[in-house]
Amino acid sequence: MKFEKVAVVGAGEMGHGIAEVFALAGLPVSLIDVKQDILDRAKSRIADSLKHMASRGRIKPEQVDQVLSRISTYTSIEEGARGVDLAIEAVPERIDVKSQVLKALEAVLSPDAVIGTNTSSILISELSQFLSRKDRFLGTHFFNPPVVMKLVEVVKGPETSDATVDAVMELMKSIGKVPVRVKDSVGFIVNRIEGPELLYFCLLVDRGLAKPSEVDAFFRSQGLPMGPYELMDYVGLDVVQELLKYYAAKLSKDYGKCRTIGDLVSKGYLGMKAGRGFYEWEGGKAKIDL
């Protein structure tokens, strides 16, 4: 299995970063989303990220334009995914949305192509029911920001072939990532571990026992780059909410007990991307007053 051209469907928080990762590794990338203005914003975020890396000497200045020129944007899967060897979907964490994208990808890709999903927690077995070529479908779960975070969970579904998993593990290593082979279970490894913590942090605030800034101060003092509330804002409260809903359905009703995140999401306070979540955000930084 050779991966010479990649498509990423969904140009949001994760998708734009995943496209950047592959383009930095020298691969041509089709970045696909429903509207051109989303794609333009994604390319401008990638350009900012590349310029920052060049300013820090992590890439050469001439690489900024070279990397950007490897990323083509499309508003149709049919056009953008044709001829690619690997397509990764990074669309919202909703099974109805993901199923549409997966079916559209399978319809246009060659039978040899591999499809990856960047789902944070939905079972691969649940998503694979929308595909016929289940042996070439797997989880490719990146972490935010993909260009900085090395870890990638490579999730083998019940019908994913070993050859597909092996090839994707090798690909991830070749682009500088640290892939871990993961079983198909709710939340995989990282988000399964984090699930109870997310619920607990939400309940702390629900019950007025602590303020996000007070809890985050403790975690920062332990040497972590972000506290849990800042991280939830960074990842997106809509993403966290979907994860908790899925866990409530699959693991325990307790995950449905948290109110604060739902309240914030219903007001449009989705975290960093909306300029407000637990905190207010400006220029990619949370304003944290103790």
Which are the catalytic amino acids? 120, 141, 153, 191
CA separation for the pair 286, 234 (Å, rounded): 9
Distance (Å, rounded) from C-alpha 160 to C-alpha 258?
35
CB of 49 to ligand 3HC, least distance (A): 3
Q: For the packed helices 13-24 and 61-69, what is the interaxial angle rounded to 10 degrees?
A: 110
Least distance to ligand 3HC, CB of residue 17, Å:
6
- Options 35, 60, 65, 148; binder of ligand 3HC; rule CB under 6 A: 148
Whether 236 contacts 13, CB under 8 Å: yes
Phi-psi category of 144—alpha, beta or left, where left has phi over 0 and alpha has psi -120 to 50?
Answer: beta
Q: How far is the CB of 289 from ligand 3HC (least distance, A)?
A: 17
Paired tokens of 50: 């590349």
Of 271, 18, 46, give the one whose Cα is nearest residue 152.
18
Choose between 191 and 260: whose C-beta lies nearer to ligand 3HC: 191
241 near ligand 3HC, judged by CB under 6 A: no
**CB closer to ligand 3HC, 226 vs 274:** 226
> What distance in Å separates the CA atoms of residue 261 and residue 89, rounded to the nearest whole number?
25
* Span near ligand 3HC by CB under 6 A; candidates 24-32, 107-115, 145-153, 169-177: 145-153
String marking each residue 105-144 x if it binds ligand 3HC according to CB under 6 A = ---------------x----------------------xx
| 38 versus 235: smaller Cβ distance to ligand 3HC | 235
Site string for ligand 3HC, 53-72 (x = CB under 6 A): x--x----------------
The beta strands (E) that lie in 233-284 are given as: 280-282
Q: How far apart are CA 213 and CA 111, in angstroms?
A: 50
Q: How far is CA 52 from CA 46, 47, 147, in A?
A: 10, 9, 12
Cβ closest to ligand 3HC, residue 27 vs residue 147: 147
Looking at the Cβ atoms of 145 and 256, the one nearer to ligand 3HC is: 145
Rounded to a whole number of angstroms, the minimum distance from the CB of residue 145 to ligand 3HC is 4
CA distance 77 to 72: 12
Which residues of the chain form contacts with ligand 3HC (CB under 6 A)?
49, 52-53, 56, 120, 143-145, 147-149, 191, 225-226, 231, 235, 239
